[in-house]
């Protein structure tokens, strides 16, 4: 619940109710979710005569220039990009209040699907999902961006089509502060800070396939935190179940540099589920601690494609280095 202080009394700032306008021409049908800095609304667009998702800053974060720029930047990217495995943006408005209009996606997030299914996803579907994630990340890499937050809650699936969401922490390859991304999904180099490359997104693909295949993340999850270094969304972290004894949640999200990815290798996916050997090896290679030991996106796509029954397809190649 969002709160502000008026004297000594906390005043709650609830989401907008249905029937109100979140932005000119967009009537709220329902509030979808609230993060540490954003509200997402299911809306009706008068101009398009259809439902859209509108992403706006939370009322108590609207006066933060950094977050305003971050929202507009993501919207501009998604407006410019066109790919079947990336969510589309229809419109980005910068002032007086910034907002981004996104397509409404049917289906459900992978994180919801993982918890809803009584049985784990079939191995061939895990490989097929991985191909879609490779396709989306290859497209981003070819445009000079790393996603850096590939995880089940940022992937929507519907009728065997996966779409990647959320470019809010995306950035160009190169130096980055520690902790850009989400705590239990960070590649070791993201947790540590330093030079980031396409290999960080290969780790994200591997972690996502691991969780979809087994129902678990490789490391103790506790709460799911988005930290994000210099682009943190300021999420209220709350308690930290799963943090080792003697560590506070502040230290668990990098306050003293502690991340489980920096201390241990990911347990082999085969220790948690019996998978075809080729798929298990592909997932484990994505989770190598050293970025140079992981496959490229193109190599991973080629491996996953070879595991599917329909035969070989063209697979993306890595963009050439400048």
pLDDT at 198 exceeding the cut of 70: yes
HSE (CB half, 13 Å, CA atoms) of 72?
Answer: 13
pLDDT at 312 exceeding the cut of 60: no
**How would residue 252 be classed by pLDDT, with cut points 50, 70 and 90?**
very low
Dig out the tokens for 234 from the structure. Answer: 């300021």
pLDDT at 239 exceeding the cut of 50: no
- Give the separation between CA 58 and CA 72, rounded to whole angstroms: 14
222 DSSP 8-state letter: S
**How would residue 151 be classed by pLDDT, with cut points 50, 70 and 90?**
very high
What are the phi and psi torsion angles at 153 (to 5°)? Answer: -75, -10
**How would residue 220 be classed by pLDDT, with cut points 50, 70 and 90?**
low
Mean pLDDT of 292-299: 97
**How would residue 219 be classed by pLDDT, with cut points 50, 70 and 90?**
confident
Fold topology of 18-103: Phosphorylase Kinase; domain 1 (3.30.200)
Predicted local confidence at residue 154, as pLDDT = 96
Q: Is position 149 annotated as part of the catalytic site?
A: yes
pLDDT at 254 exceeding the cut of 60: no
Strand ranges, E, within the chain: 3-6, 9-12, 21-23, 26-34, 38-45, 50-57, 89-93, 99-103, 108-109, 155-158, 161-164, 174-176, 194-196
pLDDT at 22 exceeding the cut of 90: yes
> Domain limits of the chain?
18-103, 108-306
pLDDT at 214 exceeding the cut of 80: yes
Least confident span in 47-51, 186-190, 221-225, 277-281: 221-225
pLDDT at 117 exceeding the cut of 90: no
Q: Could you tell me which residue, 224 or 268, shows the higher pLDDT? A: 268
Least confident span in 201-210, 215-224, 271-280: 215-224
Give the H or E element holding residue 73.
helix 65-80
CA-nearest of 199, 198, 110 to 161 is 110
HSE (CB half, 13 Å, CA atoms) of 233?
Answer: 21
Predicted local confidence at residue 221, as pLDDT = 52
Mean pLDDT of 126-149: 97
The per-residue pLDDT of the chain, averaged, comes to: 84
Q: Which residue has the tokens 């509030």?
A: 31
Q: What is the pLDDT of residues 175-192, one digit of tens each?
A: 999 999 998 899 999 999
CATH superfamily of the 108-306 domain:
Transferase(Phosphotransferase) domain 1 (1.10.510.10)
Least confident span in 9-13, 89-93, 293-297, 316-320: 316-320
CA-nearest of 121, 130, 123 to 212 is 121
- Give the separation between CA 35 and CA 234, rounded to whole angstroms: 9
CA gyration radius, the chain: 20
- Give the separation between CA 282 and CA 207, rounded to whole angstroms: 11
Q: Could you tell me which residue, 158 or 297, shows the higher pLDDT? A: 297
Q: What is the pLDDT of residues 38-93, one digit of tens each?
A: 999 999 999 999 999 999 999 999 999 999 999 999 999 999 999 999 999 999 99
For 135-157, letters b (16+ CB in 10 Å) and e give bbbbbbbeeebbbbbbbbbbbbb
**Annotated active-site residue in 60, 125, 149, 230:** 149
């Amino acid at each position: 619940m969002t709160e502000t202080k008026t004297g000594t009394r906390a005043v709650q700032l609830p989401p907008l109710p249905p029937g109100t306008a979140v932005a000119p021409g967009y009537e709220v049908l329902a509030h979808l979710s609230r993060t540490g800095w954003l509200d997402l609304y299911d809306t009706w667009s008068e101009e398009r005569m259809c439902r859209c998702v509108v992403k706006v800053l939370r009322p108590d974060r609207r006066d933060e220039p950094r977050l305003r720029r971050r929202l507009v930047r993501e919207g501009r990217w998604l407006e410019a990009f066109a790919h079947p495995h990336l969510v589309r943006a229809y419109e980005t408005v910068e002032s007086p209040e910034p907002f981004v209009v996104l397509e409404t996606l049917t289906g459900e997030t992978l994180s919801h699907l993982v918890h809803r299914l009584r049985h784990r996803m079939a191995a061939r579907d895990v490989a097929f999902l991985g191909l879609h994630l490779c396709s989306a990340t290859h497209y981003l890499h070819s445009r000079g961006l790393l996603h850096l937050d590939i995880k089940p809650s940022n992937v929507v699936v519907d009728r065997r089509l996966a779409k990647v969401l959320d470019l809010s922490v995306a950035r160009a390859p190169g130096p980055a502060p520690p902790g850009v991304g989400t705590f239990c999904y960070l590649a070791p180099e993201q947790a540590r800070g330093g030079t980031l490359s396409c290999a960080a997104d290969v780790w994200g693909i591997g972690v996502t396939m691991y969780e979809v295949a087994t129902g678990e993340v490789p490391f103790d999850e506790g709460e799911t935190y988005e930290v994000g270094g210099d682009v943190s969304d300021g999420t209220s972290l709350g308690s930290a179940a799963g943090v080792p004894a003697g560590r506070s949640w502040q230290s668990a999200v990098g306050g003293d540099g502690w991340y489980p990815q920096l201390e241990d290798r990911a347990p082999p996916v085969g220790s948690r589920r019996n998978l075809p050997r080729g798929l298990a090896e592909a997932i484990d290679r994505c989770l190598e601690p050293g970025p140079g030991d992981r496959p490229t996106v193109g190599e991973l796509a080629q491996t996953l494609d070879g595991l599917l029954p329909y035969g070989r397809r063209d697979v993306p190649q890595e963009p050439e280095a400048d």
